[in-house]
């Protein structure tokens, strides 16, 4: 007899919730959304209509619902740690938006609580499900680039409206930081996944947009990986471009450049005279959909994890490590940009 469908509770009905909801909608034979919770009950009702789900305004009601087997937390950063612990204490499976928590210590506490609860847990790190990065991993693993000497990432976004509004984005107590804490976990997870750990770093942060905001809106982190390669990661909340990501990988035998706004978005370059480059198969130009569909896939992957009893694709400890690198970057930035060992 096949197991009953997994009962899902979505906790948070904000900006990212529709993509998560779509992931559950694509797995109707394995999961069903039982309840939606948000302090803004209108938002919760609108999302719940997609599933004919129950509506809660208090997360404790959702956690206590006996029909909810899995909780998907999509809340402001400062709520990740306490509410994740409450969910795990209720022995519910947990999908938690990044960053896993606001500090490395809190992140490890969530992982420990999940292990002790004996439930499935992962972090919603969509980086692992972006086709360009998946294919880049294959190219790197095959040794096509030779020895990696330099890696660069750039995550541009435009968050001026939210930084100057009543939204939690611009409030340090709720967001924990700015572009570095919000975007940094993506790049530092990517570095660890494809290239290895960070050995040392130096970081700079800036607050260029001051109207109503308390957090940095631009940051730069650079240093050395354990492999000996250099890296540089830039993050911005003040760019006038569509949401995008860029990865540059330079090796002794060639280079790889990924830019989600370029067509094609991923190319291999053999040498300094290779002006055209070679598109990487399996990476389609989709400037509107690449981000959305990677989130859909991360949700589907976790449903399969719970359904099959298998390990998640994204190891939460790697996401803890990404928060650790973020903390070290803030340490460097606050100490006159001194180099910090990671």
Looking at residue 168, its pLDDT comes to: 76
8 A C-beta contact, residue 220 and residue 241: no
Q: What angle do CA 20, 44, 10 make, to 5 degrees?
A: 40
Interatomic CA distance for residues 19 and 299, integer angstroms: 9
- How high does pLDDT run on average in the chain? 95
Residue 2 pLDDT more than 50? no
Interatomic CA distance for residues 201 and 327, integer angstroms: 11
Structure tokens that stand for 133 in this block? 């990065």
The distance of Cα 268 from the centroid of its chain, to the nearest Å, equals 26
pLDDT digits (tens, 9 = 90+) for 81-98: 999 999 999 999 999 999
The closest of 198, 209, 260 to 233, measured between CA atoms, is 198
Residue 315 pLDDT more than 80? yes
Cis peptide before 99 (omega within 30 of 0): yes
pLDDT digits (tens, 9 = 90+) for 243-260: 999 999 999 999 999 999
Annotation: CATH topology of 6-124:
Rossmann fold (3.40.50)
Residue 291 pLDDT more than 90? yes
Q: How many helices (H) and strands (E) does the chain have?
A: 11, 15
Looking at residue 1, its pLDDT comes to: 36
Interatomic CA distance for residues 41 and 28, integer angstroms: 25
- pLDDT band at 3; cut points 50, 70, 90: low
Provide the 8-state DSSP code for 126.
Answer: G
Q: What are phi and psi of 83, to 5 degrees?
A: -80, -35
Annotation: CATH topology of 128-292+322-341:
Dihydrodipicolinate Reductase; domain 2 (3.30.360)
pLDDT digits (tens, 9 = 90+) for 49-77: 999 999 999 999 999 999 999 999 999 99
Looking at residue 140, its pLDDT comes to: 95
Residue 221 pLDDT more than 50? yes
Q: Where are the domains of the chain?
A: 6-124, 128-292+322-341
Range in 100-104, 132-136, 209-213 the model is least confident about: 209-213
How do strand 266-269 and strand 278-279 relate by DSSP bridges?
antiparallel
Interatomic CA distance for residues 316 and 123, integer angstroms: 6
Provide the 8-state DSSP code for 209.
Answer: -
Stated as kind and residue range, the H or E segment containing 17 is helix 17-25
Per-residue pLDDT averaged across 170-196, rounded?
Answer: 92
Looking at residue 214, its pLDDT comes to: 87
Looking at residue 4, its pLDDT comes to: 86
The closest of 16, 276, 297 to 134, measured between CA atoms, is 297
């Amino acid at each position: 007899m096949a197991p009953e469908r997994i009962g899902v509770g979505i906790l948070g009905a904000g900006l990212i919730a529709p993509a998560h909801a779509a992931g559950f909608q694509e797995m109707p034979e394995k999961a069903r959304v039982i309840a939606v919770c948000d302090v803004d009950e209108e938002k919760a009702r609108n999302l719940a209509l997609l599933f004919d789900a129950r509506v809660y305004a208090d997360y404790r009601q959702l956690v206590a619902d006996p029909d909810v087997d899995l909780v998907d937390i999509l809340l402001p950063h400062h709520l990740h740690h306490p509410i994740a612990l409450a969910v795990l204490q209720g022995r519910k499976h947990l999908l938690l938006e990044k960053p896993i928590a606001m500090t490395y210590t809190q992140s490890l506490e969530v992982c420990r609580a999940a292990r002790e609860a004996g439930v499935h847990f992962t972090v919603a790190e969509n980086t692992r499900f972006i086709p360009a990065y998946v294919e880049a991993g294959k190219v790197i693993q095959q040794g096509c680039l030779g020895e990696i000497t330099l890696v660069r990432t750039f995550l541009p976004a435009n968050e001026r409206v939210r930084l100057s509004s009543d939204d939690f984005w611009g409030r340090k107590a709720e967001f924990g930081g700015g572009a570095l804490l919000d975007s940094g976990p993506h790049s530092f997870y990517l570095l660890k996944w494809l290239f290895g750990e960070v050995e040392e770093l130096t970081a700079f942060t800036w607050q260029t947009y001051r109207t109503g905001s308390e957090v940095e809106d631009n940051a730069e982190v650079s240093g050395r990986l354990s492999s000996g390669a250099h890296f540089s990661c830039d993050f911005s909340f003040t760019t006038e471009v569509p949401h995008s990501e860029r990865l540059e990988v330079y090796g002794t035998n060639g280079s790889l450049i990924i830019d989600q706004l370029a067509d094609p978005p991923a190319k291999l370059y053999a040498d300094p005279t290779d002006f055209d480059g070679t598109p990487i198969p399996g990476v389609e130009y989709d400037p509107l959909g690449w981000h959305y569909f990677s989130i859909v896939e991360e949700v589907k992957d976790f449903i399969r994890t719970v359904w099959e009893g298998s390990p998640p694709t994204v190891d939460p400890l790697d996401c803890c490590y990404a928060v650790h690198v973020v903390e070290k970057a803030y340490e460097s930035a606050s100490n006159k940009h001194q180099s910090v060992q990671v």
